[in-house]
Structure 1
């Protein structure tokens, strides 16, 4: 529908009165001549107050020059669009978007028409989105994304100026214990306090970031020397020495720190952070509460770990693991009274791999759980096969890892294995370490479930761990296994001799049997017999044997003494 000249007055009046956009008429001197609606809800000034007021009176100081430039351009006949900040009558700032057009009469610019939009809410929303993208909500620290961007800028600046920098990856030691003891809310409160203390040791707020959970990253820049790096790391750790207070309880916190120094022009942020993380893992492996600088051999070791973990998963699938068996002897009769199952890995390229080379990696990666289940099942299957061959009915003992012991349905899984293999439970013995019994209440419950199946429990490496009489008295333990470190020097070291004698006497008083491991000499055998140790295991009797050789030994020594004289 065409709009003829007869409609123009009504149309212009409707636009002036009802437009959702605020627009103002401004003269060539930049003063308000008219405004289409009451501006008090936007800037706090009424229409009458603004009449004759200079526009720049409203404008924040840092935008004054820009606003004058916009008006000059518009008076030269150009249209402009800019974002500026103005001051509300009460003093706070507003973000406005202004579009200006020249007002022309008889081909001469007589003023400016300014369309004004309040974008403060939109700017706040965008700022909130930006904050969420680059900052950690809880601590207020920069997050991983911000830190990586900042680190790239730092690296470029360090290269240009020939200055060193270091990246630190920081992990709070035993933080899970805090969460378990006080709850996650107090854990979050602790992280907030840790973030505040760590910030004190860094020159600029952006140099510390919360990466995730209880992990932080820091940039040490500029670095003057290796000594400077060590001093600043000592400062980082020292700010945490004073205890924190959680729910009225003083809590001492330590951190582990991995450090990577930028030494090559090609180093980027991701590479440095990866190296720092690798060094952090080494610190945690070495006991925590320390810092360590990355070295090239760490990458090799880390790659080896990943490789071996991958190969172990393949080995489980390809049946590359096998069991060796080491006989256990009754010291009085010399007869074989048990077998310990020991896992070996028949690697397709490296041959027979001893457990010391792969068990730690299996523990760390969690592969120890399926591997441990396979060991139990294979040991039970083999023992049942020997019994079906008419060989001695003796128990087979299997080491239980901490991860296995922590499983919810361990008893159910072992019960299923016993049912599948058909082995009587009394011919299976599980060996646990002292550290697994530190939570006495849980250990008591879980061990009772296992012994209710009919199998036996022994404590392996006794004397090297927790060593509390409390768990010995209250847990269903059938025997103690004296650690080889005490047996080795029992004839030369009076302290070791006294410890072994005391363990034997204590165990017998608690109605437990005692087996000594690592027995290698006739003198050690005589000593153990003199103190009435029940059983022994070690190279003096026999090294670990393949299942075929173990069966041959059991057949040869059936019902007769097997221990060398």
Structure 2
């Protein structure tokens, strides 16, 4: 600017002097001054191209072939030169970019950032920032921009932009963030994101005097779906569950899948337990309609644990832990239930941890023992078999019945090693009785759900028989009806067991979901009528009709039938009249230890025959 001031002033003085001396010479000077102005103006235009016309070929090469977007902007922020990479990254050719403002490429949410950054450069300060622009075709490009002022006499007149395309890195960062905070199957937030949002919500709720309720929700018997139909069907069910649970929340609430078949929700502005009951009812409503998994329809229930925030300084982690404890309590109560956390549950949770440790020690220290209940032929009164029943000889509590630890063992997976111990101990004892000269008869062992769905079940049982020396025909495996829901798997497993030579019976028949059509396809030897029907056959006509029907159906299928839970003479007579093959229960004997069982085997049991002859 100072050069233009000097040149202009000099030209005016020359013109005035010339006109004073000789008028015609003054016009010549005017023309000369105008030419000088044109030359200087052209010189200014050349300044904008001076980088392009730089004589150093190395700088030219560095500019043209730089792997980043490089552009020269004039004072107004418009491109006056771009390199080849700019055309590739931005999608415009050089002619389209020249004189185009850089800010005109900005994404809507980045306009202010780019404008303010260029103003800072205009003040002579280099800046670096990340931003986003639009490609010519319309998609978004993420750039890391370094803007440098080009100075002349301490006054910037142009800028240089060096832009690195970081779109791929941004997509990678976003993918990593998604994997870190979202469940890859359902697309729901995961436990980490749930915790982060809950922390923020708790802080805000406290500030306005509101409460937050955290729900931990577990799908009842979900493992049965996986084991029966396969993991693909289990995943299909999880996707449908995720969709249904989204119907239960508002924009102020939050839903996540924390792990496996467990979901977490939190609800804001929950005043008391009445609000919780209403929310639980809403969750149960969305579960009422059956879930369709291709050709199957399933009805699903859920166990729910709830923790409500208080005025105390509870953090998100603590509230989630309390909801998890309440969930465990709900599952202990029998599932399809909900429990709201209270301080007493802490001791229950501690007891569960203690119980798990004690069960592991019991396996290590050989604290389990078997009791045996005789199975009696209803016509002759002879003992024709025994059922092996586990007991826990606890070092402090004495003899612990199975109902106090087997459900927990099933939940934790400890039922598998415990079940293997029972199988081996029962086979070993039966072989010992045979070697002592007692009548050879089968011993019944219950298989847990987890055992039945183990890989290579046939091989595991064959190995136990080989180790103990027991012939396969003297082992009877009892499975429950629920294990036959996956018909194909059940038939295949049962065929393998029959090939091995062992006997198979269905325990607790009448309480599960067996289809009579598939029942005839199962390679089984015996049905065991559940004690819940036997108990009331003399007082409930429906139970009596069910028992009589099961016995008749079993005979038509050429199977044996045994009734458990026989406790009275009237029950025994009813079963005899309806041609039940075998019975077991307290009418004959409660479960006894091995020594007492041996006494019974020596003396025999003629009680049934004697009483029926009267």
TM-score with structure 2 length normalisation?
0.74
Aligned mates of 1:182, 1:449 — CA distance in 2: 19
Match in the other structure for 2:449: 402
Match in the other structure for 1:263: 309
Select the residue among 128, 148, 157 that pairs with 1:111: 157
Match in the other structure for 2:596: 549
Instruction: Mark the CA change 1:206 to 1:357 in structure 2 (over 3 Å): closer, same or farther.
Output: closer
Q: Is 1:383–2:426 an aligned residue pair?
A: no
**Contact kept? 2:227, 2:453, Cα under 8 Å:** no
What is the correspondence of 1:284-363 to structure 2 with a 5 Å cutoff? 292-363=339-410
Aligned mates of 1:443, 1:90 — CA distance in 2: 58
What is the correspondence of 1:354-503 to structure 2 with a 5 Å cutoff? 354-438=401-485, 442-451=489-498, 453-466=500-513, 470=517, 473-475=520-522, 477-503=524-550
**Contact kept? 2:220, 2:303, Cα under 8 Å:** no
Q: Deviations over 1:404-449 (max 9, x none)?
A: 3334433443344334333344443333334444555654554455
Instruction: Mark the CA change 1:150 to 1:546 in structure 2 (over 3 Å): closer, same or farther.
Output: same
**Contact kept? 1:147, 1:206, Cα under 8 Å:** no
**Contact kept? 1:280, 1:292, Cα under 8 Å:** yes
The structural deviation recorded for 1:321 is 1.0
Match in the other structure for 1:217: 264
Aligned mates of 1:170, 1:273 — CA distance in 2: 12
RMSD: 4.3
Instruction: Mark the CA change 1:450 to 1:159 in structure 2 (over 3 Å): closer, same or farther.
Output: same
Q: Deviations over 1:70-123 (max 9, x none)?
A: 4554455543333344566666655444434444444x3243433331435244
The structural deviation recorded for 1:202 is 2.8
**Contact kept? 1:96, 1:116, Cα under 8 Å:** no
Match in the other structure for 2:128: 81
**Contact kept? 1:30, 1:71, Cα under 8 Å:** no
Give the secondary structure class of the aligned counterpart of 1:540: coil
Aligned mates of 1:448, 1:10 — CA distance in 2: 84
Match in the other structure for 1:4: none
Q: Deviations over 1:18-47 (max 9, x none)?
A: 5555555556x5444843536555556666
Instruction: Mark the CA change 1:239 to 1:21 in structure 2 (over 3 Å): closer, same or farther.
Output: same
Aligned mates of 2:568, 2:244 — CA distance in 1: 58
Unaligned runs of 5+ in 2: 1-53
Pick the structure with greater CA Rg.
Answer: 2
Which structure has more helix as a fraction of its residues?
A: 2
Q: Deviations over 1:160-201 (max 9, x none)?
A: 222111223345567678879998778767655654554344
Instruction: Mark the CA change 1:430 to 1:44 in structure 2 (over 3 Å): closer, same or farther.
Output: closer
Give the secondary structure class of the aligned counterpart of 2:157: strand
Match in the other structure for 2:198: 151
Aligned mates of 2:234, 2:375 — CA distance in 1: 49
Aligned mates of 1:532, 1:182 — CA distance in 2: 37
The structural deviation recorded for 1:262 is 3.4
Give the secondary structure class of the aligned counterpart of 1:211: strand
Match in the other structure for 2:27: none
Instruction: Mark the CA change 1:357 to 1:76 in structure 2 (over 3 Å): closer, same or farther.
Output: same
Give the secondary structure class of the aligned counterpart of 1:390: coil
The structural deviation recorded for 1:361 is 1.9
Aligned mates of 1:467, 1:197 — CA distance in 2: 29
Give the secondary structure class of the aligned counterpart of 2:432: helix
Aligned mates of 1:112, 1:322 — CA distance in 2: 91
Greater Cα shift, 93-102 or 356-365: 93-102
Greater Cα shift, 117-126 or 151-160: 117-126
Match in the other structure for 2:83: 37
What is the correspondence of 1:98-247 to structure 2 with a 5 Å cutoff? 98-106=145-153, 108-121=154-167, 122-171=169-218, 194-204=241-251, 207-212=254-259, 214-239=261-286
Greater Cα shift, 472-481 or 393-402: 472-481
Greater Cα shift, 546-555 or 238-247: 238-247
Aligned mates of 2:236, 2:472 — CA distance in 1: 49
Aligned mates of 1:554, 1:129 — CA distance in 2: 68
**Contact kept? 1:81, 1:99, Cα under 8 Å:** yes
**Contact kept? 2:107, 2:134, Cα under 8 Å:** yes
Aligned mates of 1:295, 1:269 — CA distance in 2: 16
Aligned mates of 1:471, 1:406 — CA distance in 2: 19
Count of residue pairs the alignment pairs up:
554
Aligned mates of 1:470, 1:218 — CA distance in 2: 42
